[in-house]
Structure 1
Amino acid sequence: MKRIVSLLFLITYVCSAQETAITSSLYDTYDKYKEVTLNKRRIKHHELQPLLAKYRDNPKFTVQEVGSSIEGRDLSLVSIGKGDIDVFLWSQMHGDEPTATQAIFDILNFLDSDDFKTEKDEILNNLTVHFLPMLNPDGAEVFQRRNRLGIDINRDALHLQSPEGQTLKRVRDSLNADFGFNLHDQSTYYNAERTNKPATISYLAPAFNYEKDIDKKRGDAMKIIVFMNAIIQEYAPGQVGRYNDDFEPRAFGDNIQKWGTSTILIESGGFLDDIEKQEIRKLNYVSILSALHTIAKGSYNDISISDYEKIPENDRKLFNLKIENATYELLGKPYILDIGMNRLEVNTAEYKDFWYSSRIIDQGDLSTFYGYETLDATGYTLRSGKVYPEVLQSVDQLNTIDPMALLKKGYTYIKMKTIPSQLISSPIPLHLVGTSFKLPDFDIRVGANPTFLLEKNGALEYAVINGFLIDLKTEKGDFKNAMIYR
């Protein structure tokens, strides 16, 4: 008996070592396959067309138009492989969730290469893999979650009012897919439960009924998730979350599980200093390819389902910036406050870029919350900024001032005679205001733009401008833009 147990352990160890080696190689060689034409989140349908045309002309692949959006943008399915196991991956059901869309084209580049021949043969001889890279192109065009009809496609699995939802159902049914990967982005403010670590990747094997029963199909999805979690832990330790599995009868993931496809939800969240989610994109690439390999080999069957429940649940207790224990003087009395701030993205007119308009999200006792960036402000007092007395005549004059010198003197606003209409945010760490601007009373409150100074022993040591923390001693800070108040 001991000999049998030892042999099983050896087989499991060897398989695990092989998978780890493949994953490491995929991670280390990623830049060779990254689709360089896609490097920002705000990608559009037309940017995918040259890439799809390349695969349409490639005999290794089949590219089909399987539907169209409300505004008439075509929905394409890219397939490769000759195996009996069908795997279906769909992305960007929500138009502002494109991380996995980019990763799909990285994966296609990999599958088209001559490298990793043994592993690719194992994948493509055992699987037929189908990719629907952008399910909601109309939403992607204006970088919004919902489709042109204004509905959440992920809540249209029963009524099927949207042509995009009809396409997803039709493709799933025609493939009768064995495995499905439902690829999304989630808020960067999710954290792994009871930790200060962002939920960089979150998973779910969705339930197919209210009782949350686990049949073989759902159990297989759980095993794949356990496998993928182990991979992510190598590169983002502690940064994996698990969604609550309450049954949502309108959702596609829950229904596709119910219709007989082992369904794996992958949500791309936040990662420190990864605003465009390019590191998270890489983790999608590595983990999905590794999952395809374990599905092809069937090695996932040896994984314990019980490890699925060990993945921490998703929580939502992260701020971009958290100030702890600051002294705030109100009506002549001092109070100690924590302040949580988030940087909210505002799309530019053509939805190709964004600027930040930050807000105070919460204040008070935030001891159970965390920040991507946290400052212990014990001993510091919050101070209002001032308006610089000189009026600048034009934008060109911004080059003649030293913003850090002004911040150190307590100025956070600067007047400008004429602010060009095309200028939508301030490029320097001072708010630009019109000549009629009146500085409001200093008021730390939820919903306000976070702009203030931190003073200690009579000296200004930090500035918070539009939610960005600037160290006035070192003159360093992760700053993108301040506001304009015309």
Structure 2
Amino acid sequence: MRIPISALILFVCLYTHAQQTDLTTQLYETYETYKEPLLQKRRIKHHELQPLIEQYKNHPKFKVTQVGKSIEGRSLSLISLGEGPTDVFLWSQMHGDEPTATQAIFDILNFFKSDDFAAEKQQILANCTLHFLPMLNPDGAEVFQRRNRLGIDVNRDALRLQSPEGQTLKRVRDSLDADFGFNLHDQSTYYNAERTEKPATISYLAPAYNYEKDINEVRGNAMKVIVFMNKIIQKYAPGQVGRYNDDFEPRAFGDNIQKWGTSAILIESGGYHNDVEKQEIRKLNYVSILSAISTIAKENYKDIALEEYEEIPENDRKLFDLKIANATYPLLGKNYILDIGINRLEVDKKDHNDFWYSSRILDQGDLSTYYGYETLDASGHTIVPGKVYPKLVNTLNDLAALDITSLLKSGYTYVRVENIPSSKLSSPFPIHIIGKRYKLPEFSIEIGLNPTFLLKKDRKITHAIINGFLIDLEADKKTNFRNAMIYR
């Protein structure tokens, strides 16, 4: 029997997709085997990466080259492996406070260092040469800030090339004349997939190379790989992918790298529910990037329709950490219905290795088109201010001995403590600590203020919002509370 050509092509496409899906599933299920255990948090430093990089210098599969230095003299290393004709260049953390993909890079390197997946790795490394430049902005990473030591955004230095970090990136790209470039970033956790309550856990962009936003083969290949990666993420975080606006930015590296002939793929790691340190997103980076490298090696991305790129929802920014909806707010003798959008803002500790939260009201009014990682419909509940506990507590140990849930139920959100250690930055208890002489300001729900209030229904206090954390006083369950404030 003669098989039609169209049926044969369909069979080949389905078979190839099944093979790739199987690889992706295996990568996801075996991830913990390759996850680099020395990297477990976002605030990683240059010196923590050096022992990891050092182990590859004497490994026969890898080549490590120092390709530059930061302004403060920290080394920039390129780790390469493979013998294939297609050069794939991946760089991370050109913004110092965007480290998720840096961790994923070392997971990927562990994968290639292992003896597992021998056939898959052979196919990749026979067709591709991979180059990794982790932590392009180590000076910014040292103090967990976006910009470099010069105070500039390295991603806006592609034309002037004032920064040694930008000069290094340009020089490496040019020397490789890379076919594909993965520009790895983090974005705000407050981005959502357009018109949905779902966070944009991963966002993509195939940057434009001119104002007209033309699509040539180079940019088209980037779009096709992005479509491929989107399908992978949908399997593990359905509906949680966004697409960046592609307006041309003539100073940006991504746009210029596309212009210089490298298919540039921007990947942004956003938010994921209860993933403060972005470890689940790190895993999604690992799985999707490795799968993308595999499809580049096989060249089966070429069969993907460009139109599918535009079907990815655009990035939006309408997420709060906590949204209180339909609360009754008494003001000057009248009652108003109010939605309140609250974000928990990180405050770095002195050594930039950890942080505490100082939350703020970001918006209020009709927030019906906005969403929250956590949302409470407060219909029928009235906002009431918290009171100061009337007894002076001597030490934090004495405070720990109190039944704080009972205090909250009784309307107290502040406790005076006589001896507050000077080293203490925040309250570890779900109640604010205030100094002996601290005068509480007049209560108000107002943008920019710390969100601390109680919700009452039928004369009973049911919920407390303390430093932007929601505490259900009627439910016996663990909350995601981290810290309250100290006002001296």
TM-score normalised per structure 2: 0.99
* Structure 1: segments with no counterpart, 5+ residues: none
Q: Secondary structure at the match of 1:257?
A: helix
Q: Secondary structure at the match of 2:389?
A: strand
Q: Secondary structure at the match of 1:390?
A: coil
Greater shift after overlay, 394-403 or 413-422? 394-403
Q: Secondary structure at the match of 1:241?
A: strand
Paired position in structure 1 for 2:150: 149
* Aligned residues of 1:176 and 1:261 also touching (Cα < 8 A): yes
Write the letter of the residue equivalent to 2:142.
E
* Aligned residues of 1:386 and 1:439 also touching (Cα < 8 A): no
Q: Secondary structure at the match of 2:429?
A: coil
Q: What CA distance in whole angstroms lies between the structure 1 residues aligned with 2:122 and 2:39?
A: 27
Deviations 1:278-327 (A, max 9, x none): 00000000000000000000110111110000000000000000000000
Q: What CA distance in whole angstroms lies between the structure 2 residues aligned with 1:398 and 1:139?
A: 39
Greater shift after overlay, 396-405 or 32-41? 396-405
Match among 459, 477, 480 for residue 478 of structure 1: 480
Paired position in structure 1 for 2:214: 213
Q: What CA distance in whole angstroms lies between the structure 2 residues aligned with 1:263 and 1:31?
A: 29
Q: Secondary structure at the match of 2:21?
A: helix
Q: What CA distance in whole angstroms lies between the structure 2 residues aligned with 1:398 and 1:335?
A: 36
Q: What CA distance in whole angstroms lies between the structure 2 residues aligned with 1:13 and 1:261?
A: 29
Alignment of 1:282-361 (within 5 A): 282-361=283-362
Paired position in structure 1 for 2:388: 387
Q: What CA distance in whole angstroms lies between the structure 1 residues aligned with 2:439 and 2:52?
A: 52
Q: What CA distance in whole angstroms lies between the structure 2 residues aligned with 1:407 and 1:3?
A: 73
Q: What CA distance in whole angstroms lies between the structure 1 residues aligned with 2:88 and 2:152?
A: 27
Deviation at 1:4, TM superposition (A): 1.7
Paired position in structure 2 for 1:171: 172
Paired position in structure 2 for 1:31: 32
Q: What CA distance in whole angstroms lies between the structure 1 residues aligned with 2:42 and 2:181?
A: 23
Greater shift after overlay, 36-45 or 388-397? 388-397
Q: What CA distance in whole angstroms lies between the structure 2 residues aligned with 1:242 and 1:173?
A: 27
Paired position in structure 2 for 1:56: 57
Paired position in structure 2 for 1:243: 244
* Aligned residues of 1:219 and 1:305 also touching (Cα < 8 A): yes
Alignment of 1:81-480 (within 5 A): 81-476=82-477, 477-480=479-482
Q: Secondary structure at the match of 1:256?
A: helix
Write the letter of the residue equivalent to 1:317.
K
TM-score normalised per structure 1: 0.99
Deviations 1:368-415 (A, max 9, x none): 000000000000000000001111111221221111111111100000
Deviations 1:33-59 (A, max 9, x none): 000000000000000000000011111
Q: Secondary structure at the match of 1:343?
A: strand
Deviation at 1:2, TM superposition (A): 8.4
Deviation at 1:439, TM superposition (A): 2.2
User: Aligned-pair RMSD on alpha carbons?
Assistant: 0.9
Write the letter of the residue equivalent to 1:376.
D
Q: What CA distance in whole angstroms lies between the structure 1 residues aligned with 2:460 and 2:250?
A: 58
Deviation at 1:196, TM superposition (A): 0.2
Write the letter of the residue equivalent to 2:213.
K
Divergent runs of 4+, >6 A? none
Paired position in structure 2 for 1:71: 72
* Structure 2: segments with no counterpart, 5+ residues: none
Q: What CA distance in whole angstroms lies between the structure 2 residues aligned with 1:42 and 1:421?
A: 24
Q: Secondary structure at the match of 2:4?
A: helix
Paired position in structure 1 for 2:4: 3
Q: What CA distance in whole angstroms lies between the structure 1 residues aligned with 2:278 and 2:131?
A: 24
Paired position in structure 2 for 1:43: 44
Write the letter of the residue equivalent to 2:50.
Q
Deviation at 1:7, TM superposition (A): 1.2
Q: Secondary structure at the match of 1:312?
A: coil
Give the fraction of aligned pairs with identical amino acids, expressed as a percent. Answer: 70
Write the letter of the residue equivalent to 1:132.
L
Q: What CA distance in whole angstroms lies between the structure 1 residues aligned with 2:432 and 2:71?
A: 41
Deviations 1:71-126 (A, max 9, x none): 00000000000001100000000000000000000000000111011110011111
Write the letter of the residue equivalent to 1:232.
I
Deviation at 1:475, TM superposition (A): 4.5
Deviation at 1:332, TM superposition (A): 0.6
* Aligned residues of 1:91 and 1:184 also touching (Cα < 8 A): yes
Q: What CA distance in whole angstroms lies between the structure 1 residues aligned with 2:431 and 2:240?
A: 35
Q: What CA distance in whole angstroms lies between the structure 1 residues aligned with 2:146 and 2:92?
A: 12
Q: What CA distance in whole angstroms lies between the structure 1 residues aligned with 2:116 and 2:344?
A: 42
Q: What CA distance in whole angstroms lies between the structure 1 residues aligned with 2:119 and 2:10?
A: 24
Deviation at 1:419, TM superposition (A): 1.1
Write the letter of the residue equivalent to 1:167.
T
How many residue pairs get aligned? The number is: 486
